[in-house]
Amino acid sequence: MNNFTFKRTRMNLLRHTKSLILFLFCLFVGHLLNAQCTPDVTPPLAACNANIQMSLASDGTATFTADILDENSWDDCGAVDLRLSILSGTFDPTNIPTSDEITFNCCQQGTHTVLLWVIDESGNLSNCWGAVTVEDIGGYCLSNPFDCTEKTISGNVFFDANQNCQNDSEAPTGEGKIVKATSYPDRNWQYEGTVDANGYYEITLPFDDGKDYEIEILGLPSQVLSCGNKFIKSIPNGFNELVQDFPIRFLEGCPYMVADISSLLLRRCFNNTVNISTCNYSDQFVDDAYVEIEFDQFLEVQSSTIPGTLIGGNVYQYDLGDLGSGECVNFSVEVLVNCDAELGQTHCIFADVFPQKECFETDPNWSGAIIQTTAECEGDSVKFTIENIGAEAMNQALDFTIVEDVVMYMDGQYNLEAGEFQVQKVPANGATWRMEAMQAPGYPEWLFPASWMEGCGGLNNTGMILQFSTATHATSSSRFCIENRGSFDPNDKQSFPRGYGDDHFIQQNREIDYLIRFQNTGTDTAFNVVVKDTLSQHLLWGSIRPGASSHPYVFKPLGDGVVEFVFEDIMLPDSSSNEQASHGFVQFKIQQQPDLADGIVIENSAAIYFDFNEPIITNTTWLTIGEEFVSASQNIFKENVKVEIMPNPFESSALFKIQGLDLKNGNLILMDATGRAISQNQFVGNEVRFYRNGLNSGLYFYQIKEGQDLIVTGKLLVR
C-alpha cells in the first residue's frame, strides 16, 4: 500500500456496508434467475466501484489491481477470474486482457475509464467499468521525469497487385476501416485510427513505455489475402513513429463482385422503388459486368434508372459496363405490387452480379461437392430439391430438415453424386414451408442451402418467411424479402431475420441484415439527415458492410461501436408537400460475435437526426441466440397454452417450456412408436429438461399432463 493512496468520498464503513448489500442482492437475483449450471451458459454478474482516486508513488508509478475496482462480482456456478483493460477506443468483446493489474505512470495522470472483465469457469463473461483518476499528489514526477512525447503508429492500406508487399503506387483502399493497436501481451491498452480516402491511417499514443503492440486492421472481407493483417511490433528507441503498412490483395485473376438489394417498403397496387448497389472490390478491372434480378411473381417491373432486358420468366438483366477497382454502380427499379397479392404476403427479390469466379483457397477436406436447394409450387405439392452442383461426389451423408410454418415436419439425410439430386414433396396446404440442408464440409464460399415457399395452395399465415434467415448466398448475390404493407411507422428499424417466436430466436453465427427507415414528417425540407447506430457488443463491429440505400450517403465508424450514415444535401421534402419523396432508408449487414451462447440477446436501435432537430429514436430490435429452436408437430388441448422444445431434434438434452398455464403437478411422459411409456419427468415450475441417457436415435411421442389432465401431445426427434 506504500506506492499509492486512495481518496474516497465515503467512509470505509459505508463502502463495506454497500458491498455486503450488493453481495446479498446478487445472491438473491441469482436465485431468482435460477442460473443454469449444467451446462453453464449464464454469464456472471459484474459489479464495479464507480469512482476511485489514486496517487503516484515516489517512483512515479501506481499499480491498479482488479480487486480495487471489483465490488463483489458474482457467479452462481463457481469462481470468477478478474482482468482489467482501459476503455480508450472501440469496445471489442473479443479482445480479452490477460492481466488483472495496470500500472500507471507520470504520463497517465487524469481520469481513465477502466473496464473490469469478469470471467467464470465456463468462459462466460460480463463487464462493468469505473472512473479511475490518477494524481501526482506528492509531486514525484518533478524529480522522476518521464518521456511523455506523443508517439504515432501510421501507415497505408493499399491493393498489392504485384504481390511484393510494397506500396508501388498501387490503388489505396480500406476507407472507413479501423486499425487497432493493442498493448501486447497484457492487452490492457487499446488505441485506434480510421483509414481515410487515401488509404492512410494514424494512431496516436499518449506516450511510449517500450511495450510491444499488436497492430491489426479490422473488417476486411474473408476473401482478402494480405502479407499479414496482424503484426506485433514496438516503436524503435529514439523514434517517435512506427510505420506499418497493410498491403492487401485478392487471389490473382479474381474479380470480387458484391451485390446488395433493398427497398423502403412494398405497397399493394402502388409503384415501389427497389434499390440495388453493386461494387467491384477487387484489384483488377472488370469488363462487361452485369446483374441479373429475379423479381417475385407479384412484382411487375415498370421502369429503371439504367436499361434492363427481360431474359425469361420475371428475370431481368442490367448491364453495368466496365468497372474499375473499387468502382460501384447504384441504380433503382420501379415495381408495381399486383393488387392480387394478399395483404402481408412476403415478396422476395434475388440479385446476382457477374462475372463470378471462385476467389478462394481450396480446403483440403472439401470433397468438391456444392449443395443447393430449390422450392417449387407444383399443383397439390411443394417440391423441394437438394442438388449437388459441384464437380465431385459427396464424401459423407448430411442432414436436412423441413419446417411447416414454425413446426418441424421432417428430417432426413442425403448423399449425392456430382449432378445428382434428391426430391422431397410436402402438401400444398397454404403453409409456409422451408427446407435447410447442410453444406459440404470445407466448401470455401458462403452458400447456405435453404429455400422456402409461401402460399402454395392458399395462404394461411403471413410473416413466416422472415422469422428465419434469408441470407443464403455469397456476397456476389443478394436475397431480399419483405412483406407488402399498409400503414407503417415511418421511422423504424427492422432486422432480417426477425427471429422465431416471442423471444425472436435465431441461430448463432448467422449474418444479420438491418434496415433503418426514416421520413421527414416536419414542415420544411430536411437538408441533411444523419442516422447514428450504436451496435450491440454481441456483434462483430469490424464486419459491418454498408449496403443499399434510398439516397447517397457517407459511412463513418465513430468508435465504441457507434457508426453513422450521413446523407448530406439529401434535400428530403416534408411529408405534407411530397409524401412519396419524404421517405428514405439505409441497410447494412453485420456478423455476430463467433459462437455466442444460447440465451444471449442482441439488441439494437438507431437515432435519426433531421438537420439540427432532436433525434428520433427508433424501436429496439432484439434477437435471442438459440439452437434448433423449431418445435416438432404437437396437439394442444388447453386454450392459450404454448409449448416450446429447444432443441427438437436434439442430441444430448432438450428443454420443455410451458407458457399460458401455471403447472402445479406437471409430468412429461415419453413413449416409443408402440405407445409404451419409457420415461417420466416431473416439471419444476413450468420447465423440465429431458436428458437422452442412452436413448436410441429415432422418433418418439410425448404427453404433458397436469395431474390427470392432458395438456399436449407431440413428437420428439432424437439424433
| pLDDT tens per residue, range 170-204 | 567 777 778 889 888 888 888 888 888 888 999 99
638: buried, middle or exposed (CB in 10 Å: 19+, 13-18, 0-12)? Answer: middle
Tell me the C-alpha distance between 329 and 114, whole Å.
Answer: 45
Between CA 64 and CA 73, with CA 69 as vertex, the angle to 5 degrees is: 140
Highest mean pLDDT among 6-10, 22-26, 487-491, 504-508: 504-508
The reported pLDDT for the residue numbered 630 is 57
378 compared with 88, residue with greater pLDDT: 378
pLDDT at 426 > cutoff 60: yes
What would the grid cell of residue 627 be?
A: 439452437
Q: Give the type of residue at 372.
A: Q
pLDDT at 42 > cutoff 70: yes
> Do residues 139 and 116 lie in contact, with contact meaning Cβ atoms separated by under 8 Å?
no
Q: How confident is the model at residue 16 (pLDDT cuts 50, 70, 90)?
A: very low
Digit-coded pLDDT (tens) for 678-701: 899 999 888 999 988 888 877 788
Top-level class of domain 6-142: mainly beta
Q: Give the type of residue at 43.
A: P
The reported pLDDT for the residue numbered 403 is 83
The reported pLDDT for the residue numbered 250 is 62
Q: How confident is the model at residue 93 (pLDDT cuts 50, 70, 90)?
A: low
Averaged pLDDT for residues 125-137: 88
CATH number of 257-488: 2.60.40.10
- The pairing of strands 371-378 and 381-388 is antiparallel
The reported pLDDT for the residue numbered 243 is 92
356 compared with 620, residue with greater pLDDT: 620
Task: DSSP for 443-466, please give it.
Answer: -SS----EEEE--TTS---SS-GG
Q: How confident is the model at residue 5 (pLDDT cuts 50, 70, 90)?
A: very low
The reported pLDDT for the residue numbered 436 is 87
257-488 and 631-718: identical CATH topology: yes
| 405 three-class SS | coil
Digit-coded pLDDT (tens) for 437-470: 988 888 877 677 889 999 898 888 887 888 777 7
Radius of gyration for the alpha carbons in the chain, expressed in angstroms and rounded: 29
Averaged pLDDT for residues 478-501: 82
Architecture of domain 631-718: Sandwich (2.60)
Question: 87-126 b/e with 16+ CB inside 10 Å = b?
Answer: ebbbbbbebebebbbbebbbbbbeebebbbbbbbebebbb
Tell me the C-alpha distance between 204 and 558, whole Å.
Answer: 16
The reported pLDDT for the residue numbered 17 is 44
Averaged pLDDT for residues 145-161: 83
Q: Give the type of residue at 108.
A: Q
Computed over every residue of the chain, the mean pLDDT equals 83
Q: How confident is the model at residue 489 (pLDDT cuts 50, 70, 90)?
A: low
Enumerate long-range contacts of 567-571, CB under 8 Å, 24 or more apart.
567/528, 567/529, 567/530, 567/531, 568/528, 569/527, 569/528, 570/526, 570/527, 570/528, 570/529, 571/525, 571/526, 571/527
The reported pLDDT for the residue numbered 327 is 78
Top-level class of domain 501-627: mainly beta
Q: How confident is the model at residue 609 (pLDDT cuts 50, 70, 90)?
A: very high
pLDDT at 76 > cutoff 50: yes
Q: How confident is the model at residue 162 (pLDDT cuts 50, 70, 90)?
A: low
CATH number of 151-249: 2.60.40.10
Digit-coded pLDDT (tens) for 22-37: 444 444 444 444 445 7
What percent of the chain has a predicted confidence (pLDDT) above 70?
86
Locate the domains of the chain by residue range.
6-142, 151-249, 257-488, 501-627, 631-718
pLDDT at 124 > cutoff 60: yes
The reported pLDDT for the residue numbered 191 is 87
Averaged pLDDT for residues 490-515: 85
Tell me the C-alpha distance between 398 and 412, whole Å.
Answer: 8
The reported pLDDT for the residue numbered 385 is 97
Tell me the C-alpha distance between 260 and 279, whole Å.
Answer: 9
Highest mean pLDDT among 70-74, 248-252, 278-282, 362-366: 70-74
Q: How confident is the model at residue 116 (pLDDT cuts 50, 70, 90)?
A: very high
The reported pLDDT for the residue numbered 22 is 47
Averaged pLDDT for residues 671-682: 82
What percent of the chain has a predicted confidence (pLDDT) above 90?
29
Digit-coded pLDDT (tens) for 291-330: 999 999 999 999 999 999 999 989 999 999 998 766 788 8
